[in-house]
A and B are shown apart, each in its own frame.
Chain A
Amino acid sequence: MRPIENEIKAVIIESLDLEDISIDDIETEEPLFGDGLGLDSIDALELGLALKKKFDIKLDSSSEESKKHFYSVSTLADFIEQQKGTA
């Protein structure tokens, strides 16, 4: 478990008002949207904004690549580490 994964989960819970969900409830490898956590398109935009603020990363909301990065906490962690050059 990378520390950044828990940081991402904390951002998800805070930015999306998931008051009844704890960090341990979010599976690192499970899909965030649709079947998994059940988030929708507004959540995707909101989460993108929150991650941008928290990790100071650049996001292209229209690209197919972004969709892959937002698949799970794990893929988001890969993406952020890659952008920050720490991977």
Chain B
Amino acid sequence: MNTDNSLSLQLLSSYCWISEDSLNNCKYPESLLNYVDLEVISIKQIPPIKRRRLNGLSKMAMHTSLNCLESLKSNSDEVITVFASQHGELNRTISIISDIINSQDVSPKDFSLSVHNSSLGLFSIFNNNTQPGTSIAAGSNTFGFALLESYNLLKRFPNKKVLLTCFDLKVEPPFDSFLNRVEPSYSLSLLLSIDDNLAQHGYNISFSFQRSEVPLQASMPLPLAFLQFLHSNAPSEQLKSNNTYWEFAKNAL
């Protein structure tokens, strides 16, 4: 792979949560789970009257986003947001369609929050965040292209930070049969920058990607594979999605 094509940005902080209940059959190594929050989510920062709008998916995204920002004392109203989710509100949509098939009335709340950018919208409302926000889905490459989008945004707004949150709920039946591996419910948030003055600690991350000629098999979703690489001793690693090689390299700042 031609490393001259690689793009670089700084990772200021990261926070990952995985649902312990959904981890069965995933067989993830301790080297990953040691760096993951497995506790039940409470989100005390959001008042109950607002918090009740969060479902499983948006609750995870909010939880890791707020904790990622908190660890660096970054203001949640100043970051540019990229929220990335391969399946989005799929489980909510399944429930809505089931209701329609069974001639039941559809829940207005489920309907209003069933769009892909629900979690991003709730984050911006709850944090009075008026910065640009992007909601991305790109199949098994969702995390990679979200990182690329974050890079683009940082090039355009070089003095800003980008909060990248990549999250997915475990896919419920009947659509789980389309997946070739068991995936847990998880959310990973990264705080990114390209401003050298902002980076006190963290990592310099370089990445590039190349489409594969043949279908690929990966043992875990790309964001979790990235997290494992981040906490490993390896300076670089080639990760893969279902159809693309993603090359990552890191340097501690």
Return A50 CB to nearest CB of chain B, in Å. Answer: 9
Set of chain B residues within 8 Å of A53, measured between Cβ atoms: 105
Does B112 interact with chain A (Cβ within 8 Å)? yes
- Contact call B108/A16, Cβ cutoff below 8 A: no
In this complex, how many residues of chain A approach chain B with their Cβ under 8 Å: the count is 14
Q: How far is the CA of A42 from the CA of B110 in the complex (A)?
A: 10
Q: In the complex the two chains form, is B52's CB within 8 Å of A46's CB?
A: no
**What's the nearest-Cβ distance from chain A to residue B61, in Å?**
17
Closest to B112 in A: A42
Does A49 belong to the interface (CB within 8 Å)?
yes
Within 8 A of A (CB), among B86-141: 105, 107-109, 112
Which residues of chain A have C-beta atoms less than 8 A from B112's C-beta? 42
- A52–B105 CA distance with the chains assembled, in angstroms: 10
Q: Please tell me if the beta carbons of A19 and B107 are within 8 angstroms of each other in the complex.
A: no
Whether B214 is near chain A, meaning CB under 8 Å from some CB there, is: no
Provide the B29-69 mask, 1 if CB < 8 A to any CB of A, else 0: 00000000000000000001100100000000000000000
Contact between A49 and B48 (Cβ–Cβ < 8 Å)? no
Determine how close the nearest CB of chain A comes to the CB of B122; give it in whole angstroms: 13
Q: Is A60 an interface residue (CB 8 A)?
A: no
CB distance from A37 to the nearest CB of B (A): 9
Q: Is the CB of B48 within 8 A of A20?
A: yes
Interface string of A43-61 (1 = CB under 8 A from B): 1011001001100000000
Considering the chains assembled together, what is the distance between the CA atoms of A46 and B107 in angstroms?
Answer: 6
Chain B residue at smallest Cβ distance from A16: B52
Contact A49 B105 (CB under 8 A): yes
Give the chain B neighbours of A38 by CB distance below 8 A.
Answer: 49
Query: Chain B nearest CB: distance from A53 CB in Å?
Result: 8
One of B48, B49, B52, B108 near A45 (C-beta < 8 A): B108
In the A-B complex, list the 6 residue pairs whose CB atoms are closest, starting with the nearest.
Answer: A45-B108, A17-B52, A20-B48, A46-B109, A46-B108, A49-B105
Using a CB–CB distance below 8 Å, which chain B residues touch chain A?
48-49, 52, 105, 107-109, 112
| A–B complex contacts, Cβ < 8 Å, 24 sampled | A16-B52, A17-B52, A18-B48, A18-B49, A18-B52, A19-B48, A19-B52, A20-B48, A21-B48, A38-B49, A42-B108, A42-B109, A42-B112, A43-B109, A45-B108, A45-B109, A46-B107, A46-B108, A46-B109, A49-B105, A49-B107, A49-B108, A52-B105, A53-B105
Supplied contacts A18-B52, A53-B105, 11 more A-B pairs, CB within 8 Å: A17-B52, A18-B48, A19-B48, A19-B52, A21-B48, A42-B108, A45-B109, A46-B108, A46-B109, A49-B108, A52-B105
